[in-house]
Every structure is written in C-alpha cells, then in structure tokens.
Amino acid sequence: MEDNTMKKRKLAVVSLLLSIAMLLSACAGNPSSGEGSSKDSKTPPSSSSGSAAEPESKPAAENTDRGENWVTDTPVTLKVWCMKQADIEDIATNEYIKWLQKETNVNLEFDQIAEAESLQKFNLSLASGSYPDVYLSCNQLINMSATIMNSTLMKFGKAGVFLPLNDLIEQYGANTKKLFDDISYVKDGITMPDGNIYALPSYSEIYHCKYADKLWIDQSWLDNLKLEMPTTTDEYYEVLKAFKEQDANGNGDPNDEIPLAGCTDGWNSDPSFFLMNAFIYEDGDKHLTVENDTVDTILNKDEFREGLRYVHKLYDEGLMYSESYAQDSTQMKSLNSASPNVVGSFPIGAPMIVMDAGSDLYKTCVTVPPLKGPQGHQSCSYYEYGNLRVGAFMITSACNDPEVAFKLADFMYTEDSSVRLRQGVKDVDWRMAKEGEKTFDGKPATYARITPLVTNGGAQNQHFGNSGMFRESNDSFIGAWAVQDGFDIRSLDGIEQLLIEQTWPYDGFEPKQTLPPVVFTEEEAAEVSTIEVEVQKYAKEQRVLFITGQKSLDTDWDSYVTNLKNLGLDRLVELYNTAYQRQYVK
C-alpha cells in the first residue's frame, strides 16, 4: 500500500485536459457564447480575496472557527445532486469538499452521478418531482448545450422547481456581483427572458482557450528547407508543396511526408476552421458572426465558398492527408507521434491531444499566425465568452435554507476557493510563491506548485477538476505560477505555459464582435434546437463533400444554399438576432 504522501504526489488526470473538455462541452462547452459589443480585457485581474487560513481539522458540524467565510452558525446539511467526473475518486471525501465544509459550516450530502449517465439522470431527477436542495455541476452535463440548459432553466424556473436568485444575489452576493461588475456580459448571459436568474455559472478565463483554433507547423521542417513562416494562404500553399516534394524531415525518403493532417473529433481539429479565417470569420461552432450588432451566418456566403475552394485545392493536390475527415484523434496521435516525424502541420487547440509529449513533433511544433487571404481578410476564431458555463449551481424548492445554499455558492467564487477547487490542497499540492520567484515570462509569481500540475492518469481526490462553482482568472490557473530555474517549457510541466506562449501570435486578430451568450424564450429555444441540429448536421456533411471533391463548388453550390434555406437557416439567424437585440441592444 502506498502511504498518503505518495498518493498525494500521484495526482491524476491532467488539469489541462479537463480545461479543454470544458470548452468543448463547447469550450466547449459553448465556444460561440461571447459578447456582441466591445470586449473586456483579455486577461482581467484575479479577484483579490487572497488565501484564508486553514480551518481546524474537524467535522463541519463541530467547527467553531467563525472566519470571514463562515456561512451559518447553526450547522446546515444540504442534499446535493452532483455530476461526478471520472477522475474524482469520491466527491464526499474529496479534499476540496472537506475544506469547503469546514470553511463554511455547511455539511454536504451528495448524490454522485457518473459522468456517462449524467444527462439521463438529470432529466429523470427533474421529472421525478423529488428534488435535492441543490443541483451542482450541471453545466458539465454531456451533450447539453447552453441553449438546452437555458430552456431547462426557464421551464423549471417558471414551474417553481428552481428558485429565482435575484434577491439573494442583491442581499448576499458580494462575490457574484463582483463577477457581474468585472465581466460585463455575465449577468445578461444568465438572466432569463422573464428577468430571473435561476442558476449561477462557472467562469474561467484561460487565455489560450480563447484562441483555441490554432494551426501548428513543424519548425524543424521549415528550417530544413530554409523556409520562412507563411503569412498568407499563397505562402502556406507553397510551404505545403515544399514539404511534400523536398524530404522535409530529412530521412532520405521524399515520399513519406504529410504536409497537413486533421481529424474528426479533436479540439478544433478540422483544418478548414483555421484556414477559413483567411476568407471570412469562422467561429468553428455555430458559424455565426456579429457585425454592427447584427447576427448573420457565413454558411451561404461567397467568401465561405472561396475558403472551401482553397481547402479543396489542398486536398485535391495531396497536400492534405486523405484521411483527415475520416480518422479520429487516436489515429492522428499515432500518426503525429512517429519518429522521425511525418506530419508537417496540423490544427488543434493543444498539441498533446494528438501526439505524445515526448515525440519529435511535440518538441518542434509552433503555431502559424493567422493567414491573410487573397482579398486581404485575416482573422482568427475567438472564444472570449466560451468559458461562461451556465447551470453550475441551482437551488430548488425543496431547500429549506436557500440563504445558506446561496451564501455557499457565492463563497465558491472567491479566489481562495477557486484555486483550491482547481489546483488541490494548499501547502500540499501548491503554496504561495516566495519573494523573487518568477513566472515563465519573468513576472512576479503569486503561486507555486509542490506536486506536478500534469501527471500520467489515474483517479485523484485532491481537487474538483472542472466540477462545482468557480471563478478562474488566467493568472489563478497558470499565468501567475512560479517556474524553477531551468524550466523546460516543452516538458509535461510546461504544457500550459507553452500554450500561452504559442497563443501570443493570435492576439489582436480577433473580430471586434462575436456572438454573446444569448438566452431564448421557451418557445424560441424549442424552435432553435430543432432547426439548429438539422442545419449544423447538413452544413457539416456538405463541407466535407465540397472539400473532398465529392460535390462541386460550381455546380452544386446553389442547391446547397437552397437546402440550407429550406432547413430554416434564415429563421435560425432571425431567432438569434431577436434574442441578441433583446439582451444587448439597449
């Protein structure tokens, strides 16, 4: 049996990959949820709550250390329905939950729902008529989009199952109101059309996740062939041709190079997403734009067709791997991890998803800055608002102590709570930085790790991963963390710093406006969910057919546009515009 120290040092699933899953759930959950007016600062300051002293180690019911975070003098027990991520051993004994209970004097009894069956169990719980006091981590439910979540909140909020939180926020929500003040779109993004807030969100501001649609290239191949980093679509085409024809990996075989490869299920792993931004802004999700406070689609635009024509050219000339729209991320990882490397460029939000961290390609890949297209367009996908995840914390009509439940939720927004939730146990997994310790980019550090942020798998019970309620700045996640002398940014420990560094070339190429987290009425949501599924499915299928040449962008384009119209694309845009105008155009 391993002793406790060793167990603590074997932290489990990579925190980075948990963050990636969050954006996909369209970080990911919902990458297109963004504000439609001028943007807030990309990396706003962390909250200044600091780190509270460790409370006495005894059961919450016996804790008499009434610190600033004390929620209730009389111990209160809340029954909590909570989705359990696979990497957490046991929510009830999780170190963060134990700390939270001691800090607040609130006992939590959990109904732990396995991630794989969370959506089904959530719907069954709501239909049962027998509710917990609190629903927690419902923002992480598998296959539940923000549109469906908001519709659920409206339906059960109006029915009285979810309590409106407006008055509680006004009376007790110091940290919640600070979030509203600091991040201008949050309050609008969680306020339902009836004016009520039925759920509090989690909010994360990881810098590199905002620019998740990245294209990576093997710098060693450019160096081998004495090529410059491409800056236009024409230059990128010429680089790919050189990769294909000139033995870029230097192994003596000019025929084993794959200039560009993608896959079907990675985090922004479709090559056409990045490349389309040289022709028209592509969000990689809903394919909607906001300009002059008006929502529109790119799917039927001539610029979109020209972008598809360019990507088809790469595919047709063998510059793109023929299996890019057939292989999954596991297959791509095998391809990218070969030695010597055989892949010259690839799209992905974070490279370790599609290659081994020790592979040749991982050591030499760098990001390609946004390319300028033939008409001068140059942009990058920007998910400024994708990390607002609705439905993290709901209080139900079954709760006898809604004030206590809300105060608990509001406390979870403090930096102290959020860092512990995401990073583990203070002075075991991490500590406050010492004077003179610096971040990877030379700034004074706030935090320092004791155990590694990234390890090689297994369940853990030190932190709460992506679950629960938190407000996370980029600094509190990784930007303000110390690195040691000789720090290797290409090591497992350097993954997050590498992603920050490789995101810098994209900063400033985002559009002035992107789609905010719009909230639909029940009736609108029902219509949107029906139309959007059909439009997205058809558009995705046709994109691949056009790129691979199974359909012609000349002879089949008009029928494609007509079919989109028949599926309700115009009505979909109208519904988004209606919701947008209602929320954001005063």
pLDDT tens over the chain, length 586 residues: 444 443 333 333 333 444 333 333 333 333 333 333 333 333 322 333 333 333 333 333 334 455 555 788 899 999 999 999 988 999 999 999 999 999 999 999 999 999 999 999 999 999 999 999 999 999 888 878 888 899 999 999 999 999 999 999 999 999 999 999 999 899 999 999 999 999 999 999 999 999 999 999 999 999 999 999 999 999 999 999 999 999 999 999 999 999 999 999 999 999 999 999 999 999 999 999 999 999 999 999 999 999 999 999 999 999 999 999 999 999 999 999 999 999 999 999 999 999 998 999 999 999 999 999 999 999 999 998 878 889 999 999 999 999 999 999 999 999 999 999 999 999 999 999 999 999 999 999 999 999 887 666 678 999 998 888 999 999 999 999 999 989 999 988 899 999 999 999 999 999 999 998 899 998 999 999 999 999 999 999 999 999 999 999 999 999 999 999 999 999 999 999 999 999 999 7
**Residue 83 and residue 115 in contact, taking contact as beta carbons nearer than 8 Å:** yes
Helices (H), 301-423: 302-316, 329-336, 360-364, 402-411, 415-423
215-218, strands of its sheet edge to edge: 345-347, 215-218, 365-367
441's tokens: 């980019």
The CA–CA distances, whole Å, from 427 to 63, 149, 439, 496 equal 21, 37, 19, 21
Helices (H), 374-521: 402-411, 415-423, 474, 495-503
35's tokens: 């504000």
How many Cα neighbours within 13 Å face the side chain of 147?
20
Backbone torsions φ then ψ of 377, nearest 5 degrees = -75, 140
The candidate with the shortest Cα–Cα distance to 251, out of 385, 342, 144, is: 342
DSSP conformation class of 353: G
**Residue 184, Ramachandran bin (φ over 0: left; ψ between -120 and 50: alpha; else beta):** alpha
568's tokens: 């309700």
449's tokens: 């790790």
Instruction: Supply the pTM of this predicted model.
Output: 0.86
Residue 207 buriedness (CB in 10 A; 0-12 / 13-18 / 19+): buried
Residues with Cβ < 8 Å from 274, sequence gap 6 or more?
A: 213, 214, 215, 268, 347, 368, 380, 381
The candidate with the shortest Cα–Cα distance to 470, out of 392, 539, 358, is: 392
